[in-house]
Structure 1
Amino acid sequence: MDETLSLIDERVLRGQFTQHVVVNVAKIVNMRSDTQLADSVRDCDIINIDGMGVVWAGRLLGRDIPERVAGVDLFEKLIALAATRGFPVYFLGGTDDVVKRTAAVLVTRHPELKIAGTHHGYFWSDEKSVVDQIRTCGAKLLFVAISSPKKEIFINRWQRELGVDFVMGVGGTFDVMAGVVQRAPKWMQNWGMEWLFRVIQEPRRMWRRYLVTNGKFALMLIKERLSMKSASSS
Structure 2
Amino acid sequence: MKHVIILGIPFSIINHHKLVNNLNQQIQSAEKSFVITANPEIVMRANREIDYKQDLLRATYITADGIGIVKASHILNNPLHERVTGYDVMMDLLQLSNYHQYKIYLLGADQETLEYTKENIETEYPSVKIVGHHNGYFDWNNNNIVEEINQSSPDVVFVALGAPKQEQWISQNIDHFQKGVFICVGGSFDVISGNVKRAPLSWQNRNLEWLYRLLKQPSRWRRMLALPQFTFHVIKQKVKGSS
Q: Taking structure 1 as the reference length, what is the TM-score of the superposition?
A: 0.92
Structure 1 equivalent of residue 51 of structure 2: 36
> In the alignment, does 2:221 pair up with 1:207?
yes
Structure 1 equivalent of residue 120 of structure 2: 105
* Distance in 1 separating the partners of 2:77 and 2:25: 30
Structure 1 position 128, deviation (Å): 3.8
Specify which of 205, 219, 230 is matched with residue 190 of structure 1.
205
* Distance in 1 separating the partners of 2:147 and 2:187: 24
> Structure 1 segments of 4 or more deviating over 4 A?
none
Question: Number of residues paired by the alignment?
Answer: 228
* Distance in 2 separating the partners of 1:119 and 1:98: 11
Specify which of 206, 217, 229 is matched with residue 230 of structure 2.
217
In structure 2, the CA distance between the partners of 1:127 and 1:93, relative to structure 1 (3 Å rule), is farther
Specify which of 138, 147, 168 is matched with residue 123 of structure 1.
138
Structure 1 equivalent of residue 10 of structure 2: none
Structure 2 equivalent of residue 51 of structure 1: 66
Structure 1 position 163, deviation (Å): 5.1
CA deviation map 1:186-234 (0-9, x unaligned): 2322333222222222222x11111x211211211221233344x2xxx
Contact 2:104/2:131 (<8 A) preserved: yes
Unmatched 5+ residue regions in structure 1? none
SS in 2 for 1:32: helix
* Distance in 2 separating the partners of 1:38 and 1:44: 11
SS in 1 for 2:144: helix
Contact 2:34/2:182 (<8 A) preserved: yes
* 190-199 or 86-95, larger mean C-alpha shift: 190-199
CA RMSD of aligned residues (A): 1.5
> In the alignment, does 2:92 pair up with 1:92?
no
Specify which of 26, 31, 41 is matched with residue 11 of structure 1.
26
* Distance in 2 separating the partners of 1:139 and 1:193: 35
Identity %: 27
* Higher-strand-fraction structure: 2
* Higher-helix-fraction structure: 1
Contact 1:89/1:116 (<8 A) preserved: yes
